[in-house]
A and B are shown apart, each in its own frame.
Chain A
Amino acid sequence: MRGYIFLTIFMVSVQPVFAEVKASKAFNPDISANFLGLFQRFNQGHDDRDQSNHNGVSLQEAELQMTSDVDPYFRASVLLSVSQAKGSTDSGIEPEEVFFETISLPRVTLKAGKFKAALGKHNQLHTHAFPFLDAPLISGDLLGGEGLNEEGVSAAVLLPTTWFSELTVQAMGTNNDALYNSSSSGHIAPVAYWKNLWDLSDDLTFELGVFGTQGNNSFTSTTSAYGGDLIFKWRPTSGGKYKAFVWQTQYMAGSRLGNPTGEKIGGISSWIQYQFAERWWAQARGEYEGISQSTTLPKKNKQSVLLGFFPSEFSGLRVQLDRLVVENLPNEYKFAFQYNVSIGAHPAHAY
């Protein structure tokens, strides 16, 4: 009897505590983690572990993401990235994206913080969502390894059209080493992206986007970058679990006035992705850098093939072979294997 009374008192006393714990958990952000492991070997590569792009095994990147509504007006997202620091075998942590955005305004999303600029479709992807293991050649050479990812503000407006048409305008800092690296923290660069998508049928979509930016650079002049995306995606409404096809092309060019190594750079990347079974993808990519380009910069050609196996939505294994031809340099051949793992909250997939 004493035990029963004790148990009753215990249950009554702890119940509000459990309720509080449950209620507080309900307000916890959605948390997820993703990491990429890499093994690579290339004939022009080096074996120096201090370099982030070295031969052998490495943890390419780990990301921790937390997302939640802030209040009735805003949602916030914090994405921290851990990867090898430049010139060191140690890992560094940095805020890859930290921003808040509106959820209560019709037709427009306003955003402020640090985020990937809307400079084309690929620039907004996180590394684990890249269609290939690496970014397109021109993206890396013009925007740097991390892409254009700065502090700023953004407005993305859904235009009142019968097809999907979105205009994004942003004002970003000019800290990016490769593109701007401007001398003053007060410099601001505008970014604009106009994205359109049409359903050609229930199975096929066509996407067309144009983008551009301009800002001060480290040569006391201005840099501008612009380009376009062209994407066809096919996934049949019947049998679409087992087959799909994507053809995507990105053109990007830049003018870095005052740059002594060459002011103009331009390139194109085009790739196909073919899903041939429920969990298998085969892909190929061709790239050329040298369109309307300064003669002082070498022309580049690159071909890549990739085979991907995805055991589930939360894991993936990919093998990629690359051949890179750079003017006046020996050809580079590269083999890479990557694993991609996600845990935590279910991701909402972007199209």
Chain B
Amino acid sequence: MNKINVKILLLFFISLTAQAKLAVVTTTTDLKALVSEVGGEWITVDAIAKGTQDPHFIEAKPSYMTKTSHADLVVSIGLDLEVGWLPSILRGARNPKINPGEKGNLEVGPLLDPLEVAQGKISRSKGDVHPFGNPHVNLDPIRMGKAAVFIAERLGQLDPVHMTSFLEKAKALQRRFESKTKIWQTRIDKTKIKKIVTYHKTLTYFFDRFHLENPAILEPKPGIPPTSGHILEVIQVIKDQKIRLVMVENFFDSTVTHRLKEEVPFVRTADIPVDVDGEAQINNLDDLYEKLVQTLEGK
């Protein structure tokens, strides 16, 4: 009888282990969308930042420490995007599995061929610069396809049983983004828009991917709010280069664009989401990229 009980107990624990899902926490909703699609039913995933928040400035709420204290994996962008808050959360979580450099800590940004990596000596007199590169890799569908594969590999290291499933899903996502990127490029080409003004250098990777230019930024320097003098300079650039579109990331105050419209009647301004859940109906990265393309199309 005792032997039977032991067997039942063993089976119970084996089934528990088999059903245990990897607990993943991501810093942004975009990464959550990727992890969710790649991990499928074998993981649970939660994001720290909301899609409507500026990911540079998230408060390190202790409740995030509780959340990450149970995590098997924390996925972040890196490139100093989360430098003001993620270290505090990781320290407070007291979870050695997710310490930087451990298998349970993945920074995807440095793996995605970052743009605008600082050369030579840098200084904060140039604003809130990121020495290791622009961290807004999330707006390039091709890079995010690659990120999905890196995430799948890391999930597979933590849960080798489902490695094949993770990789298959990641590669399917990557192929879908590659295919859609060609369609989005064609649609963007049709708009004849080549130059766009933004509030911050959030869309650098999107513009680089779709061969668009960003000749002026409303912030005089990264992280510094627009000044009257700088707005006048931007207005002059818009007039000189006949720029037709200004896109303002929707966690910034867009009232500054009222003045642009007064001075330059032909310019169109749009508040745009730049993260999944950044506004209603933006439920995944496909929706997000589609929204950006539609904004260029004037829809």
Contacts and interface: CB of A to CB of B under 8 A. Distances in A.
B3 interface: no
A214 B54 CA distance: 44
A346 interface: yes
Nearest to A162: B66
B128 A313 contact: yes
Contacts of B87: 348
Given A242-B253, A312-B128, A107 B69 contact: yes
B225 A278 contact: yes
B52 A237 contact: yes
A209 to B, nearest CB: 11
Interface residues of A, number: 40
Contact of B88 (A166, A237, A351): A351
Nearest to A107: B94
B61 A197 contact: yes
A158 interface: yes
A202 interface: yes
Interface string B42-61: 00000000101110010111
Contacts of A106: 94-96
A163 B66 contact: yes
A241 interface: yes
A41 interface: no
A305 B18 CA distance: 59
Contacts of A314: 124
Contacts of A351: 59-62, 88
B60 A164 contact: no
Contact of A278 (B69, B94, B128, B253): B253
Contacts of B94: 105-109, 158
The interface centre, meaning the residue of B53, B62, B66, B252 with most chain A CB atoms within 10 A of its CB, is: B62
A287 B37 CA distance: 53
A346 B59 CA distance: 15
Given A164-B63, A314-B124, A351-B62, A240 B88 contact: no
Contact of A103 (B80, B99, B127, B253): B99
B218 interface: no
B40 interface: no
B50 A237 contact: yes
B96 A105 contact: yes
B110 interface: no
Contacts of B57: 241
Interface in B111-132: 124, 127-128
Interface string A220-237: 000000000000010101
B215 interface: no
A348 B224 contact: no
Interface in A332-351: 343, 346-351
A237 B83 contact: no
B210 interface: no
Given A108-B94, A278-B253, A312-B128, A158 B60 contact: no
16 contacts: A103-B99, A104-B99, A105-B96, A166-B62, A197-B62, A197-B63, A205-B63, A238-B52, A312-B223, A312-B224, A313-B84, A346-B83, A349-B85, A349-B88, A351-B60, A351-B61
What 10 A-B pairs have minimum CB-CB distances, sorted nearest first? A164-B62, A348-B87, A237-B50, A238-B52, A348-B88, A197-B62, A164-B66, A346-B83, A104-B96, A199-B63
